[in-house]
Amino acid sequence: MGSAIAARLAEHGCKVLTSLDGRSATTRKRAAASGMVSAGDAEIANADIILSIVPPGEAVALAEHLATLINRSAKKPVIVDCNAVNVETIRTIADVVLSSGAHFVDAAIIGLPPKPGTTGPAFYVSGEAAADVTVLGELGLDLRRIDGPIGAASALKMSYAGINKGLTGLGAAMVLAAVSAGAADALRDELALSAPHIHARLGNALPDMLPKAYRWVAEMREIAGFLGDDHPAALIYEGFARLFEHIAADVEGAGTDAAQLVAFAESCKAKK
């Protein structure tokens, strides 16, 4: 996602810096191809806007690193956290960033990475400083401002993924159970009749999910955290985390469940 966003910005005339210290030759090559320029920490801290796009588990550490740099610097940039973290985590990150004197925007990227010929993904921003990054909309991003505090964009990301990826999880769990009870064909036919949009959706979503299942484990736990440990629905997302863990292990191993899900999805498409 990060390099595709960089490429979109660079195409629109934006100078995009990135830190490549200690990164592999492949990463350096990809960064260059995306129009990114290698820069040192001091130069990055001097940028106008800094986008944080990293795996969710690294978001807090990156914010702390940036805050340390900015603390020492006269320039106070706007830091935009675009990561799939829950509302509590984004507030922690906001505190870290604001304490350095930098400005902070909560952002949520919804949709697939930018590709030539598309305008997406949607790039939602919330918090008071969201007004300071409107230039991103002129630089090719599909910028959408949420009239809400820091946390609103992350809550949108969590709740949208909770419905969208959750539905794929429900489909995977129920298709596998139906297969083992000899009811998969009947399930497919009944969905086609009385829930055609879910039928069509599963035809694509189940195979698309398989290679991503390992990444969705942490994302489901973020959603459980978003709800809070005491919330009755938090258990639903812990269940999804375990289901995707199970599926990811199957994809890496015997592939039995993966093959059943692909077969079901293909028969959905054939029945369309």
For the chain, state the CA radius of gyration.
Answer: 21
Q: Treating both helix axes as pointing N-terminal to C-terminal, what angle do 87-98 and 213-227 enclose, rounded to 10 degrees?
A: 80
- Helix, strand, coil percentages for the chain (3-state, nearest 5): 60, 10, 25
CA distance 55 to 4: 15
Q: Is 158 in the site for a second copy (CB under 8 A)?
A: yes
Q: Least distance from C-beta 101 to a second copy, angstroms? A: 26
Q: Least distance from C-beta 59 to a second copy, angstroms? A: 17
Q: Is 41 in the site for a second copy (CB under 8 A)?
A: no
Number of residues that bind a second copy (CB under 8 A): 63
Contact status, residue 100 vs residue 62, Cβ threshold 8 Å: no
Q: Least distance from C-beta 109 to a second copy, angstroms? A: 12
Nearer to a second copy, 45 or 248 (CB): 248
One of 31, 78, 85, 110 touching a second copy (CB under 8 A)? 110
Contact status, residue 52 vs residue 80, Cβ threshold 8 Å: yes
Contact status, residue 110 vs residue 162, Cβ threshold 8 Å: no
Residues 6 or more apart whose Cβ sits within 8 Å of residue 32: none
Q: Is 1 in the site for a second copy (CB under 8 A)?
A: no
Q: Least distance from C-beta 215 to a second copy, angstroms? A: 17
Q: Is 62 in the site for a second copy (CB under 8 A)?
A: no
Question: Which residues sit at the interface with a second copy, rule CB under 8 A?
Answer: 87, 110-111, 122, 124, 126, 144, 146-149, 151-156, 158-160, 162-164, 166-167, 169-171, 173-175, 177-178, 181-183, 185-187, 190-191, 193-195, 197-198, 201, 226-227, 231-240, 242-243, 245-246
